[in-house]
Amino acid sequence: MNPITAFIASSGLCASRAFTPALLAALFLRFGAEYDVFQGTAKDLIGSSTVATWFTSDLCIGVLAVLAALEFAANRNQEAREALAYVDKWAKPVMAGAMTLGLLSAQDAAFAQEVLPEQAGIGDSIIAATAAAFNYSIVSVRNGVQQLLFDVDPDNSTGLHTVLSWSEDGVVVFGMIALLFFPMLVCGLIVVGIGLLWALRAWAQRRENAARVPCGSCAAPMFRSAVRCGSCRAPNPAPMAVNWLGVASTNPAPVEGHPEELLSKRRCPCCAARLEGHDVARPCSACNTPPFESMAAVARFDHAMQARLPRTLAFGLLMGLVPVLGMIAGVLYFRTRVVAPYRQYVSGFRRFLLRLLLRILIVALVLFQLIPLLGSLAIPLLALVNHRVFRRAFLAQAEQRLSAAAAAPSSTPNIATA
């Protein structure tokens, strides 16, 4: 294969998925020659007897198939996706390098060996290493953009991450197939895609910087929406309210209930940094404040979220009168307003089980919504059930985790309330 095509395809496509592109490449190289469609269009790539034997071996294809299947499964789940980002940083460059080597040795190795017997292997290795390094930088840009989207929708309550994840799978599979037929076009599109990612990340960084101001007493960067500085805990003289994205707006924060607003967006009630994981007792990684200090804090949060319910139900009732589009708007609204704030602090198997049960209920109520007039009750009903189920799960888990934390006071006591 043409070294430039191999370089761009490997470093670009492996930035989305580590194992799927390599698996597809190995399968094409191994079996492509048996099918007429591929034979005609990609003669130079496949069906040659000089195909890298390690890359197309039974063992390599078997291992890649297992890893690609695991990767596909992990991408179907929000928590697994978040965890995957840590592993991917290293797995993707390694696979990009291996795939470049595999693609290059498919054809060029034979040619290069005739001309430059000693240098053939070294040249390929240099290209592969460069592809791995380039892939590493693309992956960090991609993860930066993904981080931004986690901030927008930390609990995947809009389904945004599900849609993006399927799109990435689609791009990788169709990208690999199209590469055989239109290598130049696909390479061009990959380069444009990388450029767009870069621009998006630059925009995200500007936004992130704009969201912070230097602390008045220690000069450490502090979120505009923070209650206190995460480093020195000096109070923020002018905390800003958070908008629907969880980002500081230009309006001053309300005197009452600002920490609860931050918590509802999965942000630290003290320094406004993003909270990691779904554990209700896991302290903020930036300032070590636990999201809920006591059951009283849990009750305050619960009270603030309950207060959102009447307006949310009324909106759902209204939206229920509009077929399809109204249903979508109503469901998205109640999920972000009264379900996600609780659900994002529910962890483990319970979270998985509840999501599954409620999914079945949604299907039943979608059918109910088709009944004129009476159907408009479907959204408020759905909102109420979802809210109740996750509220109860949250309260039970908070009680359990906070009493366990109180029984073992080994962690540093916080001074946020000082």
Residues that bind Zn ion (CB under 5 A): 215, 218, 220, 229, 231-232, 234, 268, 270-271, 273, 284, 286-287, 289
Q: Say how far apart CA 48 and CA 52 lie, in whole Å.
A: 10
- Say if strands 248-252 and 212-214 run parallel, antiparallel, or are unpaired: unpaired
Tokens of 193: 């895609």
273 or 365: CB nearest Zn ion: 273
CB-count burial class (<10 Å; 0-12, 13-18, 19+) for 174: exposed
Residue 317 has φ and ψ, to the nearest 5°, of -60, -45
Nearest in space to 267 (alpha carbons), one of 256, 275, 277, 259: 275
190 or 287: CB nearest Zn ion: 287
Nearest in space to 20 (alpha carbons), one of 111, 96, 85: 96
Name the minimum Å distance from CB 208 to Zn ion. 16
- Local structure of residue 228 (DSSP, 8 states): B
Tokens of 53: 């034997």
- Local structure of residue 376 (DSSP, 8 states): G
Tokens of 189: 């599109």
175 or 291: CB nearest Zn ion: 291
233 or 337: CB nearest Zn ion: 233
Point out which residues pair with 242 in neighbouring strands. Answer: 248
Name the minimum Å distance from CB 215 to Zn ion. 3
- Local structure of residue 274 (DSSP, 8 states): B
13 or 270: CB nearest Zn ion: 270
- Report the b/e string of 81-111 with b at 16+ CB within 10 A: bbebeeebeebbbebbbbbbbbbbbbbbbee
Yes or no: say if 85 and 17 are a contact pair by the CB < 8 Å rule: no
Q: Say how far apart CA 50 and CA 47 lie, in whole Å.
A: 9
Name the minimum Å distance from CB 270 to Zn ion. 5
287 or 381: CB nearest Zn ion: 287
Name the minimum Å distance from CB 221 to Zn ion. 9
Tokens of 22: 């390599």
139 or 273: CB nearest Zn ion: 273
Name the minimum Å distance from CB 348 to Zn ion. 23
Name the minimum Å distance from CB 206 to Zn ion. 23
Name the minimum Å distance from CB 243 to Zn ion. 19
Name the minimum Å distance from CB 224 to Zn ion. 14
172 or 215: CB nearest Zn ion: 215
